[in-house]
Structure 1
Amino acid sequence: MFYYLDGTVAELLPYLAVIDCGGVGYACKTTNNTLSGLKKGQRGRVYTYLNVGEDVFDLYGFATQNELNSFKLLLGVSGVGPKAALAILSSATPEALAMAIVTEDAKTLTMAPGIGKKIAQRIILELKDKMAKESATTGLDFSGGAAVNVPAFTNKATEAAQALAVLGYTSQEVQMALKGVDVENLPLEEIIRQSLKKMVK
């Protein structure tokens, strides 16, 4: 229904941003990361997700499409609702989330308020399983290829590719995003960050 909202930031509250678009104030539940990039009285844009259900009509807004994609990905995990997803993305960027899933780092996820070890492990298990299914159905190949401008697909490049796959990108998108990124010398999270930036241009 809504793709994004672009207007004046009318109000900033904990986990909430109000965007004034043509005299209508849209209250968007959001993350600390998105809030940190908005300034009251200035123009702001958020990519939105509308959650509609019985007695529920909530609008969520995110600074980037990557954060929105991560939010929707988390909602697909059994037992993870919007509140938990916001908490996770308030303490971890999409890049950090993807890296935590690939490296099975439950500790990063449990840093979010209300996220215990069991739910963190479930998130890792279900999203890694989703990644494996994506690999099987799309033929995602991490062994190398001409589209990737590196001598061979190193361990870091493989982990970065897996992290991008976790976030829902296709094999072709992953290979194009990694092309030209210094996978040999950059830290894993920076490889993921640079690749994500290329995909949203």
Structure 2
Amino acid sequence: MFEYIKGILQYKSSEYCVIDVGGVGFKINISLSTAGKLGDVGKQAMLYTYMSVKEDDISLFGFSTREELSMYLMVISVSGVGPKVGISIVATLDPSTFSLAVATGDYKKISQTKGVGPKLAQRIVLELKDKVTKEMKSNDAKVLASEDSEIATATGYISSDAISALMVLGYSSTEAAKIVRRVYEDGMTLEETVKKALKSAF
């Protein structure tokens, strides 16, 4: 219903804030990390929002960036992940780190979040891996096509996913492709390729 809310910050804590828009105060649930990114009380603030509607409750959840909101919507689509747990995950892992963890099957990274045990973390990876991988490929496709496509596609789908994972971490498409081409061996999994590539880069 609300893409974002922009107004004067009237109150903030580690759990929620209140933004005044035309004399109406919106209570928005936030994470500690989001609270830290908000300005001072009395100043203008804006948060991207999601409205959770239940039979006995309507709540707003706010995020500093559109990417965090997109990640949140993806996370709460997983069975067993409610709005509160979802916001905890966003507070613990930034979108890039989360995407890499899901793409490489690193459920232990996700289980670092308060309220997320190993079983739920594994379910998150299982239900979101295909979607995250497709989004990573989609986001990087144009960049990869404009660079050295021969390097990027030389070792097939595993290396392509590994290149995308490295790009999420800040490597250029050319750097990522060269590193993956150097370390990849037939039969290696995506996780093995990424780990070896990261070790090789240092």
Comparing 152-161 with 7-16, greater Cα deviation is found at 152-161
Q: SS in structure 2 opposite 1:148?
A: helix
The answer to whether structure 1 residue 8 and structure 2 residue 8 are counterparts is yes
Mapped to 1, the partners of 2:163 and 2:123 lie a distance apart of: 21
- Mapped partners of 2:72, 2:82: distance in 1: 10
Partner of 1:158: 161
- Give the aligned partner of residue 72 of structure 2: 71
Alpha-carbon distance change, 72 to 125 in structure 1, aligned in 2, over 3 angstroms:
same
Q: Within 2, Cα distance between the matches of 1:86 and 1:108?
A: 16
State the TM-score, normalizing by the size of structure 1: 0.71
Structure 2 vs 1, CA of residues 101 and 118 (structure 1 numbering), >3 Å: closer, same or farther? same
Confirm whether residue 120 of structure 1 aligns to residue 88 of structure 2: no
Contact 1:102 1:163 in 2 (8 A): no
The answer (yes or no) to whether the contact 1:131–1:162 under 8 Å persists in 2 is no
Alpha carbons 2:4, 2:49 under 8 Å: kept: yes
State the Cα deviation string for residues 42-66 of structure 1 (Å, max 9, x = none).
2111111111121020111111111
**Contact 2:99–2:132 (Cα < 8 Å) also in 1:** no
Pairing 1:93-104 to 2, within 5 Å after superposition: 93-104=94-105
Map of 1:149 onto structure 2: 146
Alpha-carbon contact 1:3-1:47 (below 8 Å) kept: yes
How far off its partner does 1:29 sit?
0.8
Distance across 2 between alignment mates of 1:163 and 1:30 = 30
Counterpart amino acid of residue 149 in structure 1: S
Matched with 1:199 is none
Q: Summarize the Cα distance change of 1:130–1:146 in structure 2 as closer, same or farther, 3 Å threshold.
A: closer
In 1, Cα distance between equivalents of 2:76 and 2:165: 20
Unaligned stretches of 5+ in structure 1?
165-176, 188-201
Structure 2 gaps of 5+ residues are: 180-202
Distance 1:153 1:141, change over 3 A: farther
Separation in structure 1 between the aligned mates of residue 159 and residue 46 of structure 2, nearest angstrom: 33
Instruction: Judging by fraction of residues, say which structure has more helix.
Output: 2
Asked which structure has the greater CA Rg, the reply is: 2
Deviations 1:125-162 (A, max 9, x none): 10014457x68xxxx689x7786222132767634647
Deviation for aligned residue 1:30: 1.7
Distance 1:68 1:145, change over 3 A: closer
Match of 1:86 in 2: 87
Structure of higher RCO (CA pairs closer than 8 Å, 6+ residues apart): 1
Detail structure 1 runs of 4+ shifted over 6 Å in the superposition: 144-147
TM-score of the aligned structures, taking structure 2 as reference length: 0.71
RMSD: 3.2
The answer for the alignment partner of 1:108 in structure 2 is 109
